[in-house]
Amino acid sequence: MGFGSNLAVGCASVLTIVGAGYVMVQVVQNMSQHPDQSGSENSGEGEPEQDRGKPHAMKMQRIYEWLWGEGWISAGGLGLTQELLEHLMGFGLKVPAKDAMRVLDVHTGTGGAAFYMNDRYGAKVTGIDEGCWILSARTRLLKKRDTSLLHFYDLNVFHQLKSTHQAVYDLVWCRDGFHAYDEIQKRTIFRAVPQQLRSGGMLAFTELCKQPGPLSATSGPFECYIRSRGIDLYSNSEYRNLVERCLSPGWELKTVDCSNQLIISYAQDIDLLLEHRHTFIAKFGSEAFEELEIELKSRQKWLELGFLGFVLFVVKQASSR
């Protein structure tokens, strides 16, 4: 999932961006066994009473899918995801010759990246997230294809990541999901996940990063937005240092600044929204149009000013010298 989508936090809540802010939506916590070992898969049938934010969250899902395409609630949709995966191939990620590439899609959301990697690479993808409202979208998409290589689970993501001890994945993938965790949780994740990778495997994730220095050096609205939402942003170098301190010998970290790609993507989104203004308003209403326009323009401006950066982090086995 990405900036502009729903971000799972700890055990039992999801943050949904609305307009230029976040709204807290409570979801049910569903503890599960390791999805690649045993335990029943959540079919998405039935809705827990605790999921009271579902109608609004599903509306936002439909809005983002209108903007980025069916199954996509991460900024940039398919196009940006393809660019990010091309970077991974450049870093040496390979599709196994003898069996399917095995991918863990962390905070999978509506599963856009999972479905794409299955289509493009024939990957066997396990998607994990927390929040029952998104299951219906994945169920809808699953009906359109062979599901033998696609499995989705609603569970406690942090518990899952820290508790798996087998090397089973070629790629662990996450779009903008780790900034929802505090520093101690991040360290736990970055120590645990590399041990879950098969030979040649990678951990790849994107994050929004702030500019170096205190938030007070940015604009008032941006500082207010970040502080009021309790978002724990790091600069690129701070995040890099955090990850590198967690890696065991034999692992290395690579980074790619993809801010320009996201700026271009938001510009395209704004053009699309304005071009189809009347269609959007007829479907979602004028208030939703104004909120989305403010949201997209604010993010584009913050990226252009350098208040925000969009960075791809790749943890891989160190190259031999």
Whole-number Å distance between alpha carbons of 208 and 178: 10
Ramachandran quadrant class, 194 (left: phi over 0; alpha: psi -120 to 50; beta: rest): alpha
Instruction: Count CA within 13 A, CB hemisphere, residue 44.
Output: 16
Which stretches in the chain have pLDDT values below 70? 1-54, 132-136, 146, 320-321
Asked whether 261 and 80 are in contact (CB, 8 A), the reply is yes
SS3 category, 177: coil
Whole-number Å distance between alpha carbons of 258 and 313: 10
Q: How far does CA 142 lie from the centroid of its chain?
A: 19
What residues pair up with 9 in beta bridges, in sequence order?
A: 13
> In the prediction, which pLDDT does 218 show?
79
Query: pTM higher than 0.85 for the full model?
Result: no
Asked whether 73 and 30 are in contact (CB, 8 A), the reply is no
> In the prediction, which pLDDT does 316 show?
96
> In the prediction, which pLDDT does 135 show?
66
Q: How far does CA 173 lie from the centroid of its chain?
A: 8
Ramachandran quadrant class, 154 (left: phi over 0; alpha: psi -120 to 50; beta: rest): beta
Going from the C-alpha of 289 to that of each of 23, 293, 300, the distances in angstroms are 17, 6, 17
SS3 category, 115: helix
Ramachandran quadrant class, 308 (left: phi over 0; alpha: psi -120 to 50; beta: rest): beta
The residue with tokens 């724990």 is: 232
